[in-house]
Structure formats: structure tokens, C-alpha cells
Amino acid sequence: MSIPTLLVLDADPLPRLGRLTGRVRVEHADASTLAERLPSADVLLVWDFASHAVREAWPGEGPRPRWVHTASAGVDHLLCPELAASDTVVTNARGVFDRPIAEYVAALVLAFAKDLPRTLELQRERTWRHRETRRVAGTRAVVVGSGPIGRAVAGTLEALGVRTALAGRTARAGVHGPEDLDRLLAGADWVIAAAPLTEETRGMFDARRFGMMRPSAYFVNIGRGQLVDEEALAGALRGRWIAGAALDVFETEPLPPDGPLWEVPGLVVSPHMSGDTVGWRDELGAQFVELFELWAAGEPLVNVVDKQRGYVPGH
């Protein structure tokens, strides 16, 4: 086999390809050059996981890479009908973000339970005001999304004594199906969105669903912004339908400075960072190298996305 061409959809900083150095011909592309360079690539590494360039460039002319890897858990930003229908294999960064995101969700749940945002506000006002806070042990959570991230979130919340239900696309052992979702939402103290973005999940957290949650419930989204009707969430918070929320992902990222979400009462806004612990880029690079070794040896890839469903099917 001749030296394969690896096309990297770039983002700063570039990936460290470690032991692949010299074993692949590396080319680079950005959104403006991706379409013209795709035909010469054997493999496409979507390092700029926030870009929609693949979805726009893919339905073009000429040969397509046989394998596309994205340095992200979600694949919604790159799947287009033509890629889904092709025989190109798509893999993702399954596994890298699970524990960091689980810890991030635990941080938000505990911060809400202990009223930490208000504590920081009162500190700025130099005001000593005792409040009673909540115990998280014994409360109930529902985690929507039963992939590795959702399962890691559930495991971490369970470790804190939170009684946690997982909800997924289909009912199976340990996972509730869609038929249970509304009932689970209505009884939950914590609702965690950890689902992939698919046609089934788009906009699933809407006014109807916020309306059935408890007034004392908190909502946390670490999945994809498009899972949530942001206007409905803002309305639910303003109307005190729910007690609070945290969004790490948004319909539009970065969130524009003049956007309405920054100042919604009870809403914590963070810049899509829940999975990104120190060393995460190196982990993503190392994971790609491992997959590349499999691919170069002709062995079956892991983390292979079901392009119809839009995620890596699991247990």
C-alpha cells in the first residue's frame, strides 16, 4: 500500500500525530479548501469539530475518503445524506469525554443543590445570608441519552446517592424507552440532556416538556444545543416552571454577546467546555492514532458510527 493521504480539517492547535509522522502524507484544509481537497484524501480527520464544512463539501464530485474520523462525540455536524448513503466509514471520539462530562454534570448538580451561584453573588455584595440547601443523596435524576456519556453521567450521579434513570431511543436492560420519558421527567429533580442530535432528538426539550417538570427541577444540557428549544427554556425559567438550568451547548456557538441567554434568571451559561479537561486534545490525537493503526493494518475499526441513527450503537 502506498503512503496514504490524511486530510486534516484544521483547528488550532493542530493534532499531534505522534508515531504516524512520516507514515502518512498530511494535507490540510479549511472550510474554503475542503471541497477541492477531498478527492485526493484517503482519510479525513475532522479536527475542527465545530465546523459544518464536511456536511457542505461532501456532496461534491470525485472520489471521497474511505474513512472519516471526527474528534468529537457528536457527528451531527458532518453527516449529510450523501455521506450517510456512501460506503465511507465514520468514526468518533467515543470514550474521551465520558468521565470529564460526568464530573461536569455532577459539579452543576451539586452547585445548584448547594446554591453556589447565589453564594458567589452574596459574596460580591459582602452579605452574610444563611440559607438551607438541598441534599442530593436520595434525589432523582433522569439522564436522556444512554450512550457512554449518559452512562458515565448516571454512574457519577449514582455514586453521589442520586437515584438515576437512563432514557434512550429504545428500552433495554437498564435503559428506559421513549414511552417512559414523560413520566420520568415529571418526577425528576435533575434532568440531564446527554443525547446525540438526531431527527428524533432535535428540539425534544420544548415548552411541553419543561411544562411537565417539577418547579424544583433543574435542567442541564451537555449534549447538543439543538436538543433544546432555547426560547421555551428561557420562558420556563422566567415563569419559574423549573428552578434553574445550565447550558454548555447552544443552537449558535459561540453564543453572541448580545444574545438573550446570558441574562436569563437561573440559567448558567458555559462555553461548550464540559468535556475538555487538561490534555483532552492530546487524548483525541492519541485516539486517532490508535484507530489509524487499525485502519492501516486492515483491521476493523472501533467507534464506528451508525450513519442512519447518527451515533455509535452500544449495549
Q: Which one is catalytic: 64, 69, 209, 224?
A: 224
Selected binder of a copy of itself within 22, 126, 179, 265 (CB under 8 A): 126
| Residues 83-112 interacting with a copy of itself (rule: CB under 8 A) | 99-100, 103-104, 106-108, 110-111
55 within 8 A of 80, measured Cβ to Cβ: yes
**DSSP, res 256:** P
12: contact with a copy of itself by CB under 8 A: no
193 within 8 A of 187, measured Cβ to Cβ: no
13: contact with a copy of itself by CB under 8 A: no
205 within 8 A of 231, measured Cβ to Cβ: no
Environment class of 126 (CB within 10 Å of its CB; exposed 0-12, middle 13-18, buried 19+)? exposed
Q: Cβ 188 to a copy of itself, closest distance in Å?
A: 18
Q: Cβ 174 to a copy of itself, closest distance in Å?
A: 20
Known catalytic residue at 103: no
280: contact with a copy of itself by CB under 8 A: yes
Is-cis flag, bond preceding 254, omega within 30? yes
| Residues 28-67 interacting with a copy of itself (rule: CB under 8 A) | none
Cβ-based nearer residue to a copy of itself, 104 or 295: 104
Closest listed residue to residue 35, CA positions, set 18, 48, 53: 53
294: contact with a copy of itself by CB under 8 A: no
Residue 85: CA count within 13 A, CB half-sphere: 5
Q: Report the distance separating Cα 177 and Cα 166, nearest Å.
A: 9
Judged by CB under 8 A, the stretch of 76-84, 88-96, 143-151, 152-160 that binds a copy of itself is 152-160
122: contact with a copy of itself by CB under 8 A: yes
| Residues 182-201 interacting with a copy of itself (rule: CB under 8 A) | none
Judged by CB under 8 A, the stretch of 54-62, 221-229, 258-266, 302-310 that binds a copy of itself is 258-266
244: contact with a copy of itself by CB under 8 A: no
Closest listed residue to residue 246, CA positions, set 205, 187, 207, 186: 205
| Sequence-separated (6 or more) residues with CB below 8 Å from residue 224 | 74, 76, 195, 196, 197, 201, 249
List phi, psi (to 5°) of 258: -95, 10
Q: Which one is catalytic: 253, 290, 293, 315?
A: 253
260: contact with a copy of itself by CB under 8 A: no
Residue 91, helix vs strand vs coil:
strand
Known catalytic residue at 253: yes
Cβ-based nearer residue to a copy of itself, 18 or 254: 254
Known catalytic residue at 94: no
Q: Which helix (H) or strand (E) holds 194?
A: none
276: contact with a copy of itself by CB under 8 A: yes
List of residues contacting a copy of itself (CB under 8 A): 99-100, 103-104, 106-108, 110-111, 113-114, 116-117, 119-120, 122-123, 126-137, 156, 159-161, 253-255, 257-259, 262, 268-273, 276-280
Active site residues: 224, 253, 272
